[in-house]
Chains A and B, each alone.
Chain A
Amino acid sequence: MLVVGGSGSGKSAFAERIACSLSATRTYIATMRRDGTEAQTRITRHRKQREGLGFLTLECPLSLPKETHRAGVALIEDLGNLAANALFAADGTLHDQTLVAQQIQAEVVSCLEAFEHGVIVSNEVGCEGVSRFGGTRSWVRLVGTLNCRLASMCDAVVEVVAGQPSVLKGVLPWTP
């Protein structure tokens, strides 16, 4: 399942509820880099939010784990970070957007194949038209492309607004 939403829309909490309803064996694949206090604060907030839900947390900001087999459900949070970490090189230049899209798509697919269920959290970022600097534009396009491609492969796609899910494709495992 793909869960998309704006900043602070409640998409993470919703995705966690979905994951919990799918299996008692839960793996959380965190993609944020631990740099700067803002990232730390966010990581701490998300860890607190998941406390007691029984997630095993794997921090994978650069590439997703390629496991042979893991049981239960994996929650990848989130695609936007993964895209940014792969697109922007350490020296500030950009990697090739098309290649990065293929690489991330392949990684997500192969990572989730190892689990019984997969939930991907992603960002809706393409709805402001004013061009920012080139790097941000490429990232926006990359996230949009990945959203489209992964959505077509997922059984269900949900958009979260103000904590409320709208089902764009498929069905939810329960009625919210």
Chain B
Amino acid sequence: MILVIGGIASGKRTYIRSLGYREDDMNSSIHADSPVLYGLEEVLRQGTLSADDLDAVIRKEVVTCCEVGQGVVPLDATDRAWRELVGRTCVELAKHADKIIRMVCGIPTVIR
């Protein structure tokens, strides 16, 4: 699995297309039958991944997640918990990733 991390409009989708995937290969639902999970951060709005969910995510070919942890601490407690969860989940997923890419200005950098 390739984990792609980057901020809003940092070029994640364009990068995935450059790998040969099409728009309909990308889905934002974990259990959809598509090789790319696009937008893990939105999935995590529902809370922590179950073991089954985590397993399904790891079996994807590509997983993208928006970098959400670098701004100011959110006023809202739910947002704070979500932001923390997104970061922690990426750390966990990174252990299972073959490659980790960080996008900045549309440029992919292999960070592992």
Binding site for B on A (CB under 8 A): 2, 4, 6, 122, 124-130, 140-145, 147-152, 157, 159, 168-169
- Can you offer 13 A-B residue contacts whose CB atoms are under 8 A? A124-B7, A125-B7, A126-B9, A128-B68, A129-B86, A130-B74, A141-B8, A144-B7, A144-B9, A144-B10, A148-B106, A150-B105, A159-B104
Q: Name the residue among A140, A148, A168 with the largest chain B CB count within 10 angstroms.
A: A148
Contact A129 B66 (CB under 8 A): yes
Binding site for A on B (CB under 8 A): 6-11, 14, 41, 66-72, 74, 76, 79, 83, 86, 104-107, 109
Q: How far is the CA of A127 from the CA of B71 in the complex (A)?
A: 6
Q: How far is the CA of A130 from the CA of B14 in the complex (A)?
A: 23
Contact A129 B10 (CB under 8 A): no
| Distance from A159 Cβ to chain B, minimum over Cβ atoms (Å) | 6
Residues of A with C-beta under 8 A to B71: 127-130
| Given A124-B7, A127-B7; A148-B66 close (CB under 8 Å) | no
Across the interface, name the chain B residue whose C-beta is closest to A132.
B71
Q: How far is the CA of A140 from the CA of B8 in the complex (A)?
A: 7
Residues of B with C-beta under 8 A to A2: 105
Q: How many A-B residue pairs have CB under 8 A?
A: 79
Q: How far is the CA of A157 from the CA of B11 in the complex (A)?
A: 14
Q: How far is the CA of A2 from the CA of B107 in the complex (A)?
A: 12
| Given A127-B67, A169-B107; A148-B14 close (CB under 8 Å) | yes
Q: How far is the CA of A157 from the CA of B105 in the complex (A)?
A: 8
Residues of B with C-beta under 8 A to A150: 105
Residues of B with C-beta under 8 A to A140: 8-9
Across the interface, name the chain A residue whose C-beta is closest to B74.
A130
Q: How far is the CA of A4 from the CA of B6 in the complex (A)?
A: 14
| Distance from A84 Cβ to chain B, minimum over Cβ atoms (Å) | 15
Q: List 3 tightest A-B contacts by C-beta distance, closest first.
A: A128-B71, A144-B9, A129-B68
- Of A6, A130, A143, A145, which contacts B68 at CB under 8 A? A130
Contact A151 B74 (CB under 8 A): no
Q: A144-B9, A148-B106, A169-B107 are in contact. List 17 more A-B contacts (CB 8 A).
A: A4-B104, A126-B67, A127-B7, A128-B72, A130-B79, A130-B83, A140-B8, A143-B9, A147-B9, A147-B105, A149-B106, A150-B105, A151-B105, A152-B106, A159-B104, A168-B104, A168-B109
| Given A2-B105, A129-B68, A159-B104; A148-B10 close (CB under 8 Å) | yes
